[in-house]
Structure 1
Amino acid sequence: MTADYEAITLLEEDNVAWITFNRPDRLNALNDQLLEELGHALDFLATSDSRVIVIRGSGRAFSAGYDVGSDSNEIGYAHERSPVEDRDRQLANIDLFLKVWRHPLPVITSVHGFCMAGATQLCVFSDITIVAEDAVIAASPAVPIGGGFISPLWATIVGPKRAKLMSFDAGHRISGVTAVEWGWATEAVPADALDEHVRALALSIARTPTAILKLKKEAINRVSELQGLVTIGRMGAETDALLHLTPEVQLLQNLIKERGLKGAIAHFNSGEMKF
């Protein structure tokens, strides 16, 4: 089965549903359209005949995270949102990713190339994350335009010290191999073997009836929920909304509008920027 989307594609075959981010020219950055289509696809698949979902990216990356280009809703119209509206916007993102967490089907994220910032939230809420060994993974954007929204979720998996490293050092990156060593990802395989490996894994899981998979998933999820995973994910929205009000973050947002994201990153890294 295929469905008509623009920012994603959806294909069902052999009891496996493949959701592919389809914005390769923007490294599959998560904009409003992509997130809305992802939510629609997840709702549809909840009553489909598929037994496993795989989420992957087209082109050179899994996803560069939330679209923070100068013309994006995340940055371009940030000044039009009140603090509560900003918080609610972040909560909506978490609630979407919770559809992955609470989905009746197992969800595998297949990560190649870049997996940055908000895209790592999605992976935290997925059931299994398979990464290319040379994948580039970062919990925070390359310029500190927020915080407390993504890294606390990392802390539930990799511990507070490593989460702080990924949060405090803007744009700090690790490889797929390191992500597995830290426990953030499940397995790392050579990049040229990723698709085949994920396909074989998905088909193997799909041998088990949906009802059994659903109860197995719920049983394990309860452990993380008792440890506060869902609460941690939602409370980060408040910290992010607060930080967006600071003069420093507003200065960086204006810089992105003026110079574009690449220009803002270059200026921030030059050491010439004073706060």
Structure 2
Amino acid sequence: MMSELGNAVEVEVDGPVTWLTLNRPERLNALDDRLLNELGDRLDDSAKTDARVVVIRGAGRAFCAGYDIAPDSSEVGYAAERSPVEDRDRLLGNIELFTRIWRHPQPVIASVHGHCVAGGAQLASLCDITIVAEDANIMTSPALALGGGYLSPLWVHRVGGQRAKLMSMDAGRRITGSTAAEWGWAADAVPAAELHDYVRRTAHSIARTAGSLLRLKKEAVNRAVELDGLLTYARIGAETDALLHMTPEVKHTQSRIKDIGLKAAIAEFNADFEAQFGSVRGAR
């Protein structure tokens, strides 16, 4: 297995399989502009090779903790002042990157372990096949009002309207990898210790088929799925999230994150609710 280290994405060539590893483990592979741009570049590079399958995974303890919204993040998009249209365009730019995964000429597998939150779940949702560790922690949004409309419509396509509403409306709602497979969000769930080997075997088994045939098979299935509105759902999420970012509640949350940090803002959000209405701990 040959490898090439990049700034934010590690590339490994394993015969007919290319592994792209999100490589910000100190941030649980949270998505910033640099990582997103580099991921797009590495996908473009892979498309020019004879690889037959691409696997996207995360380094360290997580697949991806979502968009990097910490106060010291290099990701400039979250709290920057923008008009609603500018914000929508920024969000649609991320959708366009993930759509490139969906339309990549080589099948793309997401190998999900640890935390898979918000933007990380968005990324995995537009891969061709998602395989998860049984104990993976999958969430559509953090445990406070950050927006949360970005991913919700996309989940309608994957798990149905009721479950999408549950994951969207109950801030901090999470499911395990086992549940994600039962719901149909993931293709399969395996014990965490077996995830890498299982994904590798699956990728190499798929790679037995010629690349040209895999491309045609992928395009045929994609067309059928797109007729059901997948990419429209994804774009609706960007437009909804841009609107949510204009609300006083989300603006307040953005301000508190900048003032006291993400973890403290989450704790404050939950404490404020419990002071008014009592604890909901143990309800889910």
Three-state SS of the structure 1 residue aligned to 2:10 is strand
> In the TM superposition, what is the alpha-carbon distance from 1:71 to its structure 2 partner?
2.5
**What's the counterpart of residue 105 of structure 2?**
104
What does 1:1-275 align with in structure 2 at a 5 Å threshold?
2-72=3-73, 78-271=79-272
Letter in 2 for 1:83: P
Letter in 2 for 1:269: N
Three-state SS of the structure 2 residue aligned to 1:97 is helix
Structure 1 residues not aligned, in runs of 5+: none
Letter in 1 for 2:256: L
Change (3 A) 1:240 1:77: closer
Alignment check: 8 A CA contact 1:65 1:116 kept: yes
Q: Take 1:149 and 1:58, find their aligned partners in 2: how far apart are those partners?
A: 25
Root-mean-square deviation (CA, aligned residues, Å) is 1.5
Alignment check: 8 A CA contact 2:77 2:90 kept: no
Number of residue pairs matched?
274
> In the TM superposition, what is the alpha-carbon distance from 1:271 to its structure 2 partner?
2.7
Three-state SS of the structure 1 residue aligned to 2:66 is coil
Determine what percentage of the aligned residue pairs are the same residue. 61
TM-score, normalised on structure 1?
0.96
Structure 2 residues not aligned, in runs of 5+: 277-284
Alignment check: 8 A CA contact 2:69 2:78 kept: no
Moved more, 194-203 or 72-81: 72-81
Any idea what the Cα deviations from partners look like across 1:52-87, whole Å, max 9, x if unmatched? 000000100001011111133657763422222111
Alignment check: 8 A CA contact 1:76 1:257 kept: no
Q: Take 2:135 and 2:248, find their aligned partners in 1: how far apart are those partners?
A: 37
Q: Take 2:176 and 2:164, find their aligned partners in 1: how far apart are those partners?
A: 15
TM-score, normalised on structure 2?
0.93
Moved more, 62-71 or 90-99: 62-71
Q: Take 1:114 and 1:258, find their aligned partners in 2: how far apart are those partners?
A: 25
Any idea what the Cα deviations from partners look like across 1:13-56, whole Å, max 9, x if unmatched? 21100000111111000111110000000111111111000000
Any idea what the Cα deviations from partners look like across 1:195-219, whole Å, max 9, x if unmatched? 0000111111111100000000001
Change (3 A) 1:130 1:216: same
